[in-house]
Each structure stands twice: as C-alpha cells, then as structure tokens.
Amino acid sequence: MSTIRLTAAQAMVRWLSVQMTEEGERFIEGVWAIFGHGNVAGLGEALHGIGDALPTWRGQNEQTMAHAAIAYAKAKKRRRAMAVTSSIGPGATNMVTAAALAHVNRLPVLLIPGDVFANRAPDPVLQQVEDFDDGTVSANDCFRPVSRYFDRIARPEHLLTALPRALRVMTDPATCGPVTLAFCQDVQAEAYDYPEDFFTPKVWRIRRPEPDRHELEAAIAALRAAKRPVIVAGGGAIFSGAEAELAAFARRHNIPLVETQAGKSAVDWEEPLNFGAIGVTGTAAANRLCAMADLVIGVGTRFQDFTTGSWSVFAAPGRKLLSINVQGYDAAKHGAQSFVADAKIALERIGAALGAHRFADPDFASRNAWYAETDALMAAPEGNGLPTDAQVIGAVQRHAGRDTLVMCAAGTMPGALHTLWRAAQGGYHMEYGFSCMGYEIAGAMGIKLAQPEKEVICFIGDGSYMMANSELATAAMRRVPFTVVLTDNRGFGCINRLQIGCGGAEFNNLYKDARVEAQPDIDFAAHAAAMGAKAVKVGSIAELERALADEAAPDRPTVIVIDTDPVPGTGAGGHWWEVGVPEVSTRESVRKARKAFEENKSRQWLGN
C-alpha cells in the first residue's frame, strides 16, 4: 500500500478539498477561520499550505461565521456546505448557538473547534474547561446535543473513519445537520503515513429515498377518501428540489397549498392555488382553509408550533394528517399517517396513481380578499407619523423584482414577512426554526455568496443588529453586496407586543421601559459606514423607496436605516400561539389574558 506522510491537519484539509458534488464542485466550498492557540499552528498552517484548493476566509466572530456558512448551505439547498474552525474555549463555545441553529433547521455545516492536548502533558492549558469528575470532558462536549455527528480527533488515524462519517451525515437528506470534529491541538501537528488512496476524489450523491409500497397505497387511499385536502409546503420541498413537482401536483389535482416559513417561495405567490402563510403568522385565507381541511398533507415540514398554531389550526372534526418526509421522526409526529420518502419522488408517485382525480375549487374569493386587504396595509402612509413594519415591507415589495430574495431571522419582521411578503419562486429565506437574533447580516452574506445572481435584501431590527453586526465589515472587505433594511423601533418591539398580549406590563423590552439612566441615541448609519458599508438614514417611506432604487454601491453592502412604530403588528391574519400565561396574578390584564388562553387551549388538538 502506497502512503503519504502528512500531519493530521494537512490530511484533513487535503481530504476535504477532493470531496465533490455530482456537478463537479467541492462539497465543502471553503473554511471560515478565526485562529487561536488551539488551531493556528496546526490547522492554520495546513490551510495556508493548501491555498485556493480549499479557500480560507477570515470572519469577525465564530458564531456569525458559522451563520454565514449555514445560510450558504441553505441557499444551496444542502447540495454544498462550508466548514468553520475556531480555537478552544470561547472560540469553540461561540459556535454552539450556530450548531443548534443548524441542527433545528436540518442544515449541513462542518465545525472544527480546536481541543485540548490529547497527551495531557501541559494540562490545564489556557481556556481549558476541567470537569472535576471526568477527565475526558472539554468545552467541546457542549456540541454533543446540537450535532448530528460528534467526534474527537485524538489520534491522526482517527481521520480515516471520522471524515467519511462526517460527510455521510452532511449529505444524507434524512440525517443532514451539523457535524463537529473536535480536533486536539497536539494531534493537528502530528504526522502519520496515510494511504494515498484516502485522497482519491469522491463524489457524494444526495439520495432520493423511494416510498414503501404499503405507505404509498395508504397515502393514495387517504387522498381518494378526502373531500377538502390542503397541502402544507415545508422546507423539505425546497431541499428536495421539488418546487416544480409541488406546483404541478397542486394544479393537476386542484389542491390548495399553504406555506411554512421554511417552505415559503417553493411556489410563486401568484399561483392561484397558493393561499400563502399558515399558522400563527398565517394569512386569514390560509388559516380558514386549514380549519376546514379534512386531510392535511405535509410535504417536508416538521409541523412546528408556529405552523400549527400550537396544534389548533387544523380544526375540522375527524381530520387526518398525511406527512411526507425523508425523516421518519418527522413523518410520524402527532399521529400522522407516515409517508417516508423524498418529496419529489413522493409527489410523482402519488400524482401518477391519482391520475386525473381533481378536488372541488377552494375559496378563491377569500384569497383575493386577503390580497386586497394587505394592499391597503402595505400602502405608503399619509401624514408624518412613524411608519409601520407593514408599510416598510410594502416599500421593499414595490421595489422587488423576480430576482429579489428577502431574508430575516428574528424579531418583528419574520412574522410580518411570512404574513405579508409576496415571494417569487425562490425569493424567500427565513431562519425561523431557531429564530436566532444575529443571524441576519452574516446570513445575508452567506446567501449572496451562494446566489450572486440574486438581489439579496436583509430585514433586521435594531435589537438583532445590536447583537451581531460585525460580519458587515467582512462583507465590505470581501466586496459582497447586499442591502440591509434596518428598522429601528428602539428596543425589542416584537417581544414587547407579546408581553402586552399576555397581559403583562411593558417592561424591559423597549428602551423606554428599561431601567436605564439615559435613552440611547444610536446612529446606526454612522456605525455601518464605519465598517465599510454604504449607509443612509431615511425619514420616510418615500425616502426609503428612493434609497432602494439607488444603485451606487454594487460592490459592497448597503444599509438603510428607518425609524418605525413599535406598537402595530401586521394588522391582518395570524392565529393563537401557546405561551404560558400566569394562572394567578393581581393584574386584571393578566387574568383576562389567562381566560383567553384557557379558551384557546380547549381547542387544541394533541393527537397521539
């Protein structure tokens, strides 16, 4: 057997550089890196040596570098991914939040935190977390519950098994998610005689699981027995690349469809059978449709509580749930009739069996009424008051074209965008599985790197911006252009509305209700400009529209700041969401909210 002598770090990067997609591209596009004593000497030297065969990019924060990598993978429909490396200690634990985000959203990212010395000679090293009862524990054990696969590279030859396992997980549609390879820092520098054929280029094909015959027959029978079916389009439909099949299936059989946050833009909003968002942030037309449905057909959805209105949206007596998913865990939720298969294959098989079978027309009038109602909500305001979020969305909507992609993650805008935004096919990217504040700017950069042909518009509130804005500097340095619409409502406006809705007093969310000595007056435009972005503060919706039309900064990020009213919600749509309201309170508003909670709770369907 022919061998080649390399350090473990050199072997890792060489192997990653030859793992290919079916299209002939690297599956791991490159490595985001912040170096520290746990990875600079070993992995840092290896990455320098391999050069453009596996590019390295410098970020500003380990968590947001990982967010950029995750957004890239999502924008690539999980067909490609990125790696992220950090030192041990805080660099590693900074990435735990990102790992959780990727885990919840079923998205591939390879995390390579440095680890302690495998030989333990210098213990305890700088930043080492010591467990008094377990000598094998390090800070990286925090990744275990939020990784689909976790391994610790404590010997150079561990790579021979760990790396193929890592890529298998990341390329399997059923197990896809974050992989953590904790890389002991002394091992990174140790040499080993690796088999040369270990570095032979390998093509990773994304499988499309075929359905079980019995599950297929049961699904067809359920559809033939239904009178008022509805399709719930989830993110799995997009990851499968089943957008065209989903639209064709709905049209052929005249089945209306609704969209989760992850599934929004799988089908163009102008498709008459697309009734829009479902659930807590759903349209009135979609939720009314779901309340009457006798068969709910989930296509690649986890049926998260926002989708189901905490399991109170699907209210028809005797209604049934058919769940199409590549992951059996998701397909069997809440007593659903399980259909484990790739979404594209499943729709093709069911459609072929149904033939020309068509269902009665849904209530198209309610859909038309919804868009007429929201036209008014998103219209430019009259007068000089602060604009609402809906009016800001309306301004961006009037600017948007077929190649516009809007994205967001947390705060007010995800709900408003899910409810109101009219997305062209492929024009919506929302991280709402983990609803992670601080994903937005790094995520926008990752999307633009993955889809440079798109006009990427990032909606972010002042609260999220304050949490994580530093990758704006990275985007400016790398000349990655996208537009940030920063709505400043002076605090956490979304959670303030929830606080009021639960009967609580306004407390600690908006700056005016926090225990501060002085109200902050933050110049977000000046801050963004200081990091290299083109930035402007606008005073009205009309000025916002003019700023959106300005194409003077095509080679770097643009940040447009606008003050907004923190009080109004979307003004339309929506549904109950279960949030624990106190059973006992001296406040009448809380007691009233508890009574409403109990009434809604009584309508909740828990299933099996």
- Residue 270's domain spans which residues? 213-366
The CATH number for 120's domain is 3.40.50.970
Residue indicated by tokens 């790398």: 478
- Please give the Cα distance from 560 to 547 (Å, whole number): 7
CA angle 566, 440, 74 (to 5 degrees): 135
The pair of structure tokens assigned to 503 is 């009967």
Any domain includes 373 = no
Cα-based torsion angle of the residue sequence 374, 376, 379, 385 in order, rounded to the nearest 10 degrees: -110
pLDDT of residue 607: 60
DSSP secondary structure string, 269-286?
A: TTSTTEEEE-GGG--HHH
Q: Look up residue 254 and give its DSSP letter.
A: T
Contacts of residue 380, Cβ cutoff 8 Å, sequence gap at least 6? 391, 394, 395, 541, 542, 545
Residue 570 lies in a domain: no
Number of H helices, E strands in the chain: 24, 22
For 217, the token pair is 């027959």
CATH assignment of the domain containing 246: 3.40.50.1220
Does one domain contain both 385 and 353? no
From 146, 168, 203, the end of a domain falls on 203
Give CA–CA dist 452/481, Å, rounded: 9
What number of other Cβ atoms are within 10 A of residue 206's Cβ?
17
In sequence order, what are the beta bridge partners of 534?
Answer: 558
Q: Are residues 195 and 280 in the same domain?
A: no
Domain match, 476 and 532 both: yes
| Sheet hosting strand 455-461, strand order edge to edge | 428-430, 404-408, 455-461, 483-488, 558-563, 534-538
* Cα separation, 469 vs 453, whole angstroms: 24
Residue 503: predicted pLDDT: 86
Rounded distance, CA 422 to CA 435, Å? 21
How many distinct structural domains can be found in the chain? 4
The pLDDT of residue 606: 67
Specify if 420 maps to a domain: yes
Residues 353 and 386 grouped into a single domain: no
d(CA 223, CA 229): 7
Contact 152, 123 (CB under 8 A): no
Whether 398 is in a domain gets the answer yes
R_g over Cα of the chain = 25
Residues 476 and 424 in one domain: yes
Instruction: For residues 7 and 547, give the distance between their C-alpha atoms in angstroms, rounded to a whole number.
Output: 52
Sheet of 229-233: strand order equals 274-277, 257-259, 229-233, 295-299, 320-325, 337-340
| DSSP symbol at 221 | H
Among 203, 234, 251, the domain-final residue is 203
Tell me, yes or no, whether 402 lies in a domain.
yes
pLDDT at residue 514, rounded to an integer: 87
Q: 572 lies in a domain?
A: no
Task: Please indicate, yes or no, if residue 602 is contained in any of the structural domains.
Answer: yes
Q: Which structure tokens are listed for 562?
A: 């606008």
**Cβ burial, residue 584 (10 Å; 0-12/13-18/19+):** exposed
Q: With beta carbons less than 8 A apart as the criterion, state whether 183 and 9 touch.
A: yes
User: pLDDT tens digits for 366-392?
Assistant: 999 999 999 999 999 887 789 999 999
Domain boundary among 203, 233, 253: 203
d(CA 9, CA 125): 20
Same-domain status, 488 and 352: no
Q: Please return the burial class of 74, using the count of CB atoms within 10 Å of its CB with bins 0-12, 13-18 and 19+.
A: buried
402 and 501 assigned to the same domain:
yes
Asked if residue 52 belongs to a domain, the reply is yes
DSSP 3-state of 1? coil
Mark whether 228 and 346 lie in a shared domain.
Answer: yes
Distance of CA 432 to the CA centre of its chain: 5
Tens digits of per-residue pLDDT, 324-366?
999 999 999 988 999 999 999 999 999 999 999 999 999 999 9
Residue 525's contacts (CB-CB under 8 Å, 6 or more residues apart) are 535, 536, 537, 559, 561
pLDDT at 462: 94
Q: How far is CA 423 from CA 37, 553, 579, in A?
A: 46, 25, 29
- The answer to whether 511 touches 520, Cβ cutoff 8 Å, is yes
Residues 470 and 557 in one domain: yes
Q: Which residues 6+ apart lie within 8 Å of 507 measured at CB?
A: 499, 513
Distance in angstroms (rounded) separating the CA atoms of residues 252 and 351: 8
pLDDT reported for residue 533: 97
Rounded to two decimals, the pTM is: 0.96
Residues 17 and 133 in one domain: yes
Say if residue 101 is in the same domain as residue 188.
yes
Q: What is the distance, to the nearest Å, from the Cα of residue 106 to the centroid of all Cα atoms in its chain?
A: 9
Q: List, for the chain, all residue ranges whose pLDDT scores fall below the cut of 70.
A: 606-608
Q: Which token pair is 547?
A: 């700023």
CA atoms within 13 A on the CB side of 520: 16
Same domain, 146 and 171: yes
Amino acid occupying residue 234:
G
Alpha-carbon distances of 405 from 213, 242, 264, 421, 440, rounded to whole Å: 39, 19, 12, 11, 13
